[in-house]
A and B are shown apart, each in its own frame.
Chain A
Amino acid sequence: GQQVMQIPQYQHVQEGEDFTTYCNSSTTLSNIQWYKQRPGGHPVFLIQLVKSGEVKKQKRLTFQFGEAKKNSSLHITATQTTDVGTYFCALEYGNKLVFGAGTILRVKS
């Protein structure tokens, strides 16, 4: 079956430090989505990447899609306490959306 690996599982950073989560697939992807879930909340769509090598930015967030379209990353510059939550990648496999296990981000102020 489809293998989706998301690392790290958990990261605790000092406010102002950078944060990166990685998503790796065992197969070539057509596209990948990223979602954020705040503690006690529901997943919220952040972005979709489609093109090989694509880089998209949303303020302090930078999303990358690998050249081989088998991996992706989400990088947050200078984390803030509002960034806490779980970040999920999501990809399609057999007409189903498969979510990574998520990376839990905690920010110390």
Chain B
Amino acid sequence: DSGVTQTPKHLITATGQRVTLRCSPRSGDLSVYWYQQSLDQGLQFLIQYYNGEERAKGNILERFSAQQFPDLHSELNLSSLELGDSALYFCASSVGLREISYNEQFFGPGTRLTVL
């Protein structure tokens, strides 16, 4: 158990819909990262928040957005869903000090999103 929790575990929805994925970081971690893992694209970094502020942005679509709340939990919002958005979405957390790559990241169990 990494200490990072994600809900829901599974999500099945239809094209055009909007969903929200939730992540609670490890106690004491200030940084939250979101990743998308699909068979053809591998593990893709989406976005990072540090103590409530956006810190780094990856290959995140404009239809996707995220935020980190004062209690440090984070939500990833996916809208106008397409079939290709079906994937495993991981949240990770770290202490958040120094540059991104110096931080050991602890991954949550993931949310499996299926868009029909």
Contacts and interface: CB of A to CB of B under 8 A. Distances in A.
Interface in B81-112: 90, 92, 99-102, 104-110
Nearest to B59: A96
Nearest to A29: B101
B93 to A, nearest CB: 12
A109 interface: no
Contact of B42 (A42, A44, A95, A99): A99
Which of B33, B45, B57 has the largest number of chain A CB atoms within 10 A?
B45
A48 B102 contact: yes
Interface of A: 30-33, 41-45, 48, 88, 90-92, 95-102
Contacts, number: 56
A96 B56 CA distance: 6
A99 B100 contact: no
Contacts of A31: 101-102
B2 A44 contact: yes
A39 to B, nearest CB: 12
Contacts of A88: 43
B58 interface: yes
Given A48-B104, A92-B99, A97-B105, 15 more contacts: A42-B90, A42-B107, A42-B109, A43-B92, A43-B105, A44-B107, A45-B106, A90-B101, A91-B101, A95-B56, A95-B99, A97-B45, A99-B43, A99-B44, A99-B45
A43 B99 contact: no
A98 B56 contact: no
